[in-house]
Structure 1
Amino acid sequence: MTMLTRIIPPNRMLSFVNRLSEESHLLADSMLAWQVKGFGKLDKLELGPYRRPILAKPKDVLVQVKATSVNPIDVAMLGGYGVAILDLMRKCDLTSDKYENFPMILGRDFSGEVLTKGTDVRSDINIGDKVYGVVPVHAQGCHSELVIADDGLIAHKPEHLSDEESAGIMYAAMTAWSALKITGDLLITGGDNKRALVIGGSGGVGTIAIQLLKSWGAEVVTTCQPDAIPVVEKLKPNLIVDYTQSSWLKDLQSCGKFDLILDACGNVTPSVFIPLLSQWNNSKFITLRSPLLKNTDSSGIIGGMFQNIGELLTSNVSSGAISKGSTVRWAYFLPVPTAVTEIASLVAKKQISPVVEKVFPFTDLPSAYSRVNEGHLRGKVIISLK
């Protein structure tokens, strides 16, 4: 069928949304979604009908989205960040011979209700279940009324959390889990009695990383701005350092050496923090802001990978990490079902609690993108579809 497209003036947004929603429900093969039809800024986000997703794999689950979130990766992808590798991943993940770059739907994590499921979905996931979960970065996202998710990347929503609270958990939590357990080797060594520093403890990943580390038995020090201290205190780190104070580095030095440092804000210089690591103890400085995707975008897959190897080696040498028996490492979100299981268990036991800064209505999604783009978040920015 011919897709419906519209340009929606801001002053008539609500009336158009109501009308479009009615149209999308009248058309059995359509839904309402925020779409990107070309890379750029916020004006590239368009709200309109989009084809209803269909189950393509035996483990696919179709979820009606009740709430979702906006992550920094969404804002970056809007501008074309990571297009080289993400396009390659999409082509490798095809279930048919059809491939399209656009329209693209952003959004990584969600909360909602199961509408239907594939033939090999695990038995504890049933139609009508309330779930929350995540979709990989190369897949069509959840800034829409419906989303397809793999059954290994969803969990039952706990009753003590609202849709808005649960919607912002999984992407940030799995990013933190991947950085700490896989890149940081805690999957092998465990976190008990480890000493960890989380740089940027008030953001989406930082707030979850603190709670994960505490649940694993680690001693946690974190940094944040003074206005974020009340938020971070609720997460119960062992110490909070105000990085706006001139004494912040001395304050961290007085804490003793760390086994692991996680850069959850992405704008720090490794060489400043390497001296804080334990020497010759396989200690690690882990950052979530690597140049990997940027380099492959500018130099292609092969050229970019060689460039990445060179830059990572240079960072380890120039920062002084290698000479002290430490390493600088780059971490990324990884869609690991084991992580979903562990995170869901900790959430159910209230060892991980979501931190929500603000909830925006679905009709005002561009404002949510604008807020995330500003940075210095105090938890997650959520979109409600209710």
Structure 2
Amino acid sequence: MLHLASRKVGSGLLSRIRANVFENVICRKISTSSRKQAVMPAWVIDRYGNNSMLRFTKNSMFPIIYYPNEVMIKVHASSLNPIDISMRNGYGAAALKMKRDPLHIKAAGSEFPLILGRDVSGVVMETGLDVSYFKPGDEVWAAVPPWKQGTLAEFVVASANEVAHKPKALSHSQAAALPYVALTTWSALVNNGGLKKDNCKGKRVLIFGGSGGIGTFAIQLLKAWGAHVTTTCSENAFSFLKDLGVDHVINYKAQSLEKQLKDLETFDFILDNVGGQTEGWALSLLKPWSGATFITLVTPFMINTDRLGIANGIAKSGITLGSKILKHLSQGIHYRWAIFTPSGPTLDKVTELVDEGKIRPVVEQVFSFSEVPKAFLKMEGGHARGKTVIDRSKECL
């Protein structure tokens, strides 16, 4: 109860008054040496495009706590996710711009210069007036939503509801590998798929794309809860995934993936982390009329809003999802879309699993802060075996 109460957000006129007072106080209080310059080092983009758009600056606007439920974090480590590549290219610009808070982005309404990066592990520097669960000096982790300025910087501001205490057993580099993939996976399996520790034992689960960040977290979570897990990957990832506890690995390059999977016993649950043409036949792998579930993380929502505008994009996405739900429900199968959902309380649950030794971060490669463009190029190369991490402690630029 303390945890939930301490994340409570102020509201109404009183909250706005407190926020204004707090802004005046905090401008005098935060890091005097940093505040003199009112800037910080960061990697930004000034327009959407390829990797050449990434620009290092020592003069990025220093973030400010505007609301009484916010926390300022000094970034020790962050990590990259596929969404960072997509956002650099302009994916979701229309929907995200609508969601962005002008106080945190720019009063003029432009998102540029935009800081990418969603994951953060670091130390609390300052807290808003309504925050009691965290205090300066606490080691924390979070996944910052894509409509906010990101974590490829010296400092980042997040809602206290998005932040949790970092697992003590993990270094900052290890911790930074987990939040975004953990919350995306939790949204798919738990919030939308209805899986939990009490109902997962013995379920046959298929994961399309098991070797990346989401796949490796999903495998560990499902195995911790007693599921039988099958996943797809290339042959050189077999031993890596077996080490995470996978029961059956399918080489999607060896022969027809559809044929290989149809030769197996049917599944209770499918997590689609790949998209493409797979969905056209994958639902036939589920047990019919058994309440089986298909969850995809590859949805057309952002593409629709980018192409058609907010109103028409939302309408088209709603029609598409509704028609698929009805179509598959007529066959006794639950069809769902899932997206990343920021949540500090969920990260607290992940911390418990980490502390119990049931979840461990899977870090493929660590880059220094000066190597952010190289890290992006590595991500674009595909064939991930875990997460790509940016460690700010390696150097100072």
TM-score (normalised: structure 1): 0.87
In the other structure, the counterpart of 1:7 is: none
* SS of alignment partner, residue 165 of structure 1: helix
Instruction: Give the counterpart letter for 1:382 in structure 2.
Output: V
In the other structure, the counterpart of 2:5 is: none
Query: Structure 2: how far apart are the matches of 1:147 and 1:190?
Result: 38
Q: Is the 8 A contact 2:63 2:104 kept in 1?
A: no
Which residue, out of 265, 273, 286, partners 1:277? 286
Q: Can you give the 5+ residue segments of structure 2 that lack an aligned partner in the other structure? A: 1-32
Cα displacement string for residues 165-216 of structure 1 (whole angstroms, at most 9, x for unaligned residues):
1111000110000011122122698423322111111001000011111222
**RMSD of Structure 2 on Structure 1 (CA):** 2.4
Structure 2 residue 189 is the aligned partner of structure 1 residue 180: yes
Deviates more, 1:89-98 or 1:354-363: 89-98
Which residue, out of 65, 70, 85, partners 1:55? 65
Q: Can you give the 5+ residue segments of structure 1 that lack an aligned partner in the other structure? A: 1-23
In structure 2, relative to structure 1, the CA distance for the partners of 1:160 and 1:188 (3 Å cut) is closer
Which residue, out of 109, 116, 122, partners 1:112? 122
Q: Is the 8 A contact 2:105 2:148 kept in 1?
A: no
In the other structure, the counterpart of 2:275 is: 266
In the other structure, the counterpart of 2:309 is: 300
Query: Structure 2: how far apart are the matches of 1:64 and 1:119?
Result: 19
Query: Structure 1: how far apart are the matches of 2:197 and 2:170?
Result: 31
In structure 2, relative to structure 1, the CA distance for the partners of 1:116 and 1:43 (3 Å cut) is same
Deviates more, 1:192-201 or 1:355-364: 192-201
TM-score (normalised: structure 2): 0.84
Deviation at 1:99, TM superposition (A): 3.5
Which residue, out of 154, 168, 184, partners 1:145? 154
Which residue, out of 69, 80, 99, partners 2:90? 80
Which residue, out of 340, 346, 355, partners 2:362? 355
Deviation at 1:321, TM superposition (A): 3.4
Which residue, out of 25, 30, 35, partners 2:39? 30
Structure 2 residue 262 is the aligned partner of structure 1 residue 253: yes
* SS of alignment partner, residue 188 of structure 2: helix
Cα displacement string for residues 98-117 of structure 1 (whole angstroms, at most 9, x for unaligned residues):
64321111100011111111
Instruction: Give the counterpart letter for 1:119 in structure 2.
Output: L
Query: Structure 2: how far apart are the matches of 1:272 and 1:29?
Result: 54
In structure 2, relative to structure 1, the CA distance for the partners of 1:347 and 1:153 (3 Å cut) is farther
Q: Is the 8 A contact 1:174 1:335 kept in 2?
A: yes
Q: Is the 8 A contact 2:72 2:124 kept in 1?
A: yes
In the other structure, the counterpart of 2:379 is: 372
Instruction: Give the counterpart letter for 1:233 in structure 2.
Output: K
Query: Structure 2: how far apart are the matches of 1:218 and 1:183?
Result: 17
Deviates more, 1:93-102 or 1:67-76: 93-102
In structure 2, relative to structure 1, the CA distance for the partners of 1:92 and 1:53 (3 Å cut) is closer
* SS of alignment partner, residue 271 of structure 2: strand
Q: Is the 8 A contact 1:152 1:340 kept in 2?
A: no
Deviation at 1:94, TM superposition (A): 6.8
Deviation at 1:46, TM superposition (A): 0.8
Count the aligned residue pairs.
360
In structure 2, relative to structure 1, the CA distance for the partners of 1:92 and 1:322 (3 Å cut) is farther
Identity %: 39
Query: Structure 2: how far apart are the matches of 1:314 and 1:245?
Result: 34
In structure 2, relative to structure 1, the CA distance for the partners of 1:186 and 1:293 (3 Å cut) is same
Deviation at 1:362, TM superposition (A): 0.8
Q: Is the 8 A contact 2:142 2:344 kept in 1?
A: no
In the other structure, the counterpart of 2:49 is: 40
Q: Is the 8 A contact 2:105 2:111 kept in 1?
A: no
Deviation at 1:136, TM superposition (A): 0.9
Instruction: Give the counterpart letter for 1:357 in structure 2.
Output: E
Structure 2 residue 336 is the aligned partner of structure 1 residue 329: yes
Query: Structure 2: how far apart are the matches of 1:47 and 1:170?
Result: 25
